[in-house]
Homo-oligomer: A and B are copies of this chain.
Amino acid sequence: MTGKVFFSVTMSLDGFMAPEAVPAEDAFSPEKQDDPGVRRWNAKWSELQAWAFPLRWFRENLKLGEGGEEGIDNDTARATYERTGASVMGKRMFDLGEKSWPEDAPFHTPVFVVTHEKRDPWERPGGTTFHFVNDGIESALLQAREAAGDRDVRIAGGAETIQEYLDGGLIDEFSITLAPVLLDTGIRLFDRVEPDRIALGQVRADASSRVTHLTYTAVKR
């Protein structure tokens, strides 16, 4: 038995999964936090992700302490985490995360980073090991499937990486947490996807007081 390949992201109502890019080395650099571009990025990112911060699971997974909210949002976030046996991510997401994740990165599974950078596996406390894959998205997915066993493979991001997998017909299903936020500019989730190649199917929608969790299947036409 082999798991599914999925992605799960937060999207603004106008279709963005992140504010416009700032250089990865600036986004979390203490001395750059007063830069107007960095401030805007932080404000917009926080607005988009605001639903997640109060959750019990979020606090637990990032070791921020006890407590936090339970309910639909928490159950959805935890279920996404628990189904994931391995993740795949692009280089930019890794570069950003490397500067912002705590010492034990919050995956606790193997993570395959699609990059041109040659680098030995990077093992973190808590079970996250980053593997650097230099021969493309299909190879990264094969390795992630192998590592995940019968659990699912999550294409973690960023947008470009998700688009490549979606456009390649390699995604089985996906979840969008739709936030009641307008960003106006930024990185679109569905840029570059060729709609004549992918048909979507409606699976379910669960709304909390903050966001709506949408699930779809994706099928190559």
Contacts and interface: CB of A to CB of B under 8 A. Distances in A.
Contact of A200 (B182, B184, B204, B207): B182
Interface string A200-216: 11101111111110101
A9 interface: no
Nearest to A214: B212
What secondary structure prevails in chain A residues at the interface with B?
A: loop
A191 B180 CA distance: 16
Interface residues of A, number: 31
A176 B214 CA distance: 14
17 contacts: A13-B176, A13-B200, A13-B216, A14-B193, A15-B188, A15-B190, A180-B201, A182-B193, A182-B195, A182-B200, A183-B195, A184-B190, A184-B193, A184-B195, A202-B208, A202-B210, A202-B212
Interface of A: 13-15, 176, 178, 180-184, 188-190, 193-195, 198, 200-202, 204-212, 214, 216
